[in-house]
Amino acid sequence: MGATEHPNHPQLADTPALISHLLNQVDHLITDLSLVEPLVIGIHTGGVWLAKTIAEHLSAPLGQLDIAFYRDDFSHNGLHPQVSPSSLPFDINNRHLLLVDDVLMSGRTVRAAMNELFDFGRPASIKLVTLCSVNQRELPIQADACALSLSLKPGQYLQLNGPEPLKLSIIESANHE
C-alpha cells in the first residue's frame, strides 16, 4: 500500500489548479440554478477541508458531517474507531445545500450523508460538489460540480491529504475490495 504519482493522470499533480477549477464550477452552478444563499456542508475529513475553501470563497456558512453513524457497513466493519461530532450551526430546513466531499467513488458515503442530513431537517435542495469522481459507482449518485473524472484500476483509490496543503494522490491497496 502506498501513494504514487500516477503517470496516467498528470492532472492530479496540481491539486490547487483542480480546486480553483472546482470553485469556478461552483460559481456556475449557483448562477445557473439561482441558488439563493446556499449553505456549505463538508463530509469528514477531506470534504470538510474542501468545504472550508468553498465556504470562504462564497462567504457562506460552513457545517460538517461525520457519517460514521449512518454507514451501511456497520455489520461488516463495525464502528469507525475515530468518530468526530457532526456540526450544523444553522437550520437546514428549506435551504439550498452544497454537500462537499473530496472523492466520489461508490456513492455510499453520499447516500449516508443524505440520510443524516434529513435527520436535521428538510432542505430545499442538495447539490453534490466533489473534487474528483472515480468511475466505480455502486449507487445512482452523480456530482453536480466536479473538477476531474477518472478511471482507476482495481485496488487503487484516491485520497486527499491535508489540510495544508491539500494534495490528491492515488493509493494502491491490496486489501481494498
Partner 1 sequence: MSNLANLQLTKDGELRHFLTPEGLDRLMLERILDTADSFVVVGNQEVKKVPLLRGRTVVNLFFENSTRTRSTFELAAKRLSADVLTLDINTSATSKGESLLDTLQNLRSMHSDMFVIRHSDSGAAHFIASQVTPDVAIINAGDGRHAHPTQAMLDMLTIRRHKGNFEPLTVAIVGDILHSRVARDQIHALKTLGCTDIRLVGPNTLMPYAIESMGVTTHNDMDTGIDGADVVIMLRLQTERMACAFLPSAGEYFRLYGLTTARLAQAKPDAIVMHPGPINRGIEIESAVADGSQSMILNQVGYGIALRMAVMSMAMSGQMQQRQSPIPPNNVTKEPRL
Residues that bind partner 1 (CB under 8 A): 1, 66, 68-70, 74-87, 103-106, 108-109, 115-116, 118-121, 134, 157-159, 171, 173, 175-176
Find how far residue 153's CA is from the centre of its chain: 21
C-alpha cell at 175: 486489501
Q: How far is the CB of 59 from partner 1 (least distance, A)?
A: 25
Q: How far is the CB of 45 from partner 1 (least distance, A)?
A: 9
**What is the C-alpha to C-alpha distance for residues 173 and 156, in angstroms, rounded to an integer?**
6
Neighbours of 13 (CB within 10 A): 13
- CB closer to partner 1 out of 102 and 127: 102
- Long-range CB contacts for residues 135-143, cutoff 8 Å, separation at least 24: 136/105, 136/106, 137/104, 137/105, 137/106, 137/107, 138/106, 138/107, 138/108, 139/106, 139/107, 139/108, 139/110, 139/111, 140/107, 141/104, 141/107, 141/110, 141/111, 142/104, 143/104
- CB closer to partner 1 out of 33 and 79: 79
Apex CA 53: angle with CA 82 and CA 169, to 5°?
Answer: 60
Q: How far is the CB of 105 from partner 1 (least distance, A)?
A: 4
Q: How far is the CB of 84 from partner 1 (least distance, A)?
A: 6
Q: How far is the CB of 87 from partner 1 (least distance, A)?
A: 7
